Amino acid sequence: MSTGFGPKGYWDQRFAAKEFVYGEQANDFLRQHAAGLAAGQALCLAEGEGRNAVFLAELGHQVCAQDISPVGLRKAKALALQKGVSITTLCCDLAALKLKPNSLDLIAAIWMHVEPELRARVFEQAVEALRPGGHLLIEAYRPQQLNFSSGGPTRKELLIEAAQLQQELSALEPLILQEIERTITEGSAHQGRSAVVQFFGRKP
Tens-level pLDDT at each residue, the chain (204 residues): 444 566 778 899 999 998 999 999 999 999 999 999 999 999 999 999 999 999 999 999 999 999 999 999 999 999 999 999 999 999 999 999 999 999 999 999 999 999 999 999 999 999 999 999 999 999 999 999 999 999 999 999 999 999 999 999 999 999 999 999 999 999 999 999 999 999 999 999
The CB density around residue 135, as the number of other CB atoms within 10 Å, is 23
Between the CA of residue 149 and those of 14, 68, 145, 187, what are the distances in Å?
A: 18, 25, 8, 15
Biggest alpha carbon distance in the chain? 42
127, 136 in Cβ contact below 8 A? yes
Give phi and psi for 135, each to the nearest 5: -125, 145
> What H or E segment, with its residue span, contains residue 201?
strand 190-202
User: At CA 45, angle to CA 47 and CA 79, rounded to 5?
Assistant: 30
Closest by CA position to 189, among listed 48, 73, 76, 79: 48
Q: Which of the following CATH numbers is that of domain 8-202: 3.40.50.2020, 3.40.50.150, 3.60.20.10, 2.60.40.4070? A: 3.40.50.150
Residue 4 pLDDT: 52
CA pair distance 185, 65, nearest whole angstrom: 22
CA pair distance 182, 180, nearest whole angstrom: 6
CA pair distance 104, 41, nearest whole angstrom: 5
CB-side neighbour CA atoms (13 Å) of 110: 24
Q: Can you give the pTM of this predicted structure?
A: 0.95
